[in-house]
Amino acid sequence: MDFSFTADDEVFRAEARAWLREHVGPDPDRRAWERTLGKAGWIGLGWPEGGYGNRTAGLTQQVAWAEEYARSGAPPRSGHIGENLLAPTLVAHGTDAQKARFLPPIAAGDELWCQGYSEPNAGSDLAGVRTAAVREGEGYRISGQKIWTSLAHEADWCFVLARTEVGSRRHHGLTFLLVPMDQPGRIEVRPIRQMTGTSEFNEVFFDGAHARAEHVVGAEGQGWRVAMSLLGFERGVSTLAQQIGFAQELMRVVRTAVRTGAADDPVLRAALVRQWAELRAMRWNALRTLGGSGDAGAPSVSKLLWANWHQRLGELAVLVRGAEASAGPRDWAPEAPYEIDRDQQLFLFSRADTIYGGSDQVQRTIIAERVLGLPREPKGVV
């Protein structure tokens, strides 16, 4: 695919850059920021036209927007799960009524979503779902637990993979449900405090939570097909924006290495050059595979590459600082809040990169079985 930018694309890029320069301020409220993006039509650029309140853009223009967003220092998105995961899934598998109900609020930044996939004792084994949904009247009654649910404490809705066929195993008998989070006494969200002191991830407990029958995406029992389709959308244009952020982090580490004298160490110099070269290779690989289809291994290769690269960068971020990396930005006191600086945040949070979004082991299994044709790995009975 040709990713040379046309004159029209560059005009679009200039418009995006100017808008971001005008609207990105210091530490905005994240929900308010989503509404600001939505009001200007910047949510859902990759969706088809359909009167959902979004502007449409070609693939190169989506890349231009993602890159300018990353370069501008704009805040992390709270709406990316709805925009980049659920919305394309609804476009592919949802009914017209579901699209009309859910896409406009996502485009406006009014409704935020979380993903109810991972469960305790299942790790990255998505087919190990035990959360049950029982048909009851005009809907489903859901009981079970999800874990590592990003931004569940902020979300209005959750798309939940649940088992609707009693006695079913693995990927059979699963259903993809859209569940409102505002159900006091039926849904409990418990933030998980991480090494970084923050709590982006959560445990979510469903105790008789209700989902309406018309909020089944696909059909009952077809949840695995819908869930796999959604995972295919997880690594698209946003990968390039992620790499812009990686480049900024890398250059910060390089500047620190020069400041501390670590850049004179031949081992560290070689490691920094390797990081730079691998980041360039990841970018060209992302451009090569972007918009393509039929390569079962491409998403897994991408995840393996960036997760391990970013984890190594976190290690370098503290190595080039030496002993000073072990001290926090302020003197510690029992009554003071837990606080770390950017390099320490990078080091600690990147430990999870090879786990969330499908662990390295799961990605390698996918490549082994679906690309190389190796024998399937034995699975335990759920």
Residue numbers annotated as active site? 234
178 forms beta bridges with: 159
> Smallest Cα–Cα separation from 149: which of 357, 295, 365, 5?
357
> Smallest Cα–Cα separation from 293: which of 358, 229, 357, 238?
229
What are the helix (H) ranges across the chain?
7-23, 30-39, 59-72, 80, 87-93, 96-108, 223-232, 238-260, 266-289, 298-319, 342-349, 360-366
**Cα–Cα distance between 77 and 67 in angstroms, integer?**
14
Q: How far is CA 366 from CA 129, 147, 190, 375, in A?
A: 18, 22, 31, 11
**Cα–Cα distance between 318 and 313 in angstroms, integer?**
9
Reported in sequence order, the residue ranges of 137-173 that DSSP labels E, i.e. its strands, are 139-146, 157-163
Contact (CB, 8 A) for 16 and 72: no
**Cα–Cα distance between 87 and 154 in angstroms, integer?**
18
- Structural element, H or E, at residue 177: strand 174-180
180 forms beta bridges with: 157
**Cα–Cα distance between 298 and 309 in angstroms, integer?**
17
Q: How far is CA 381 from CA 125, 169, 228, in A?
A: 12, 7, 21
**Those residues with Cβ within 8 angstroms of residue 125's Cβ, 6 or more apart along the chain or in another chain:** 362, 379
Q: For the CA atoms of 50, 54, 60, 64, what is the dihedral angle to 10 degrees?
A: 180
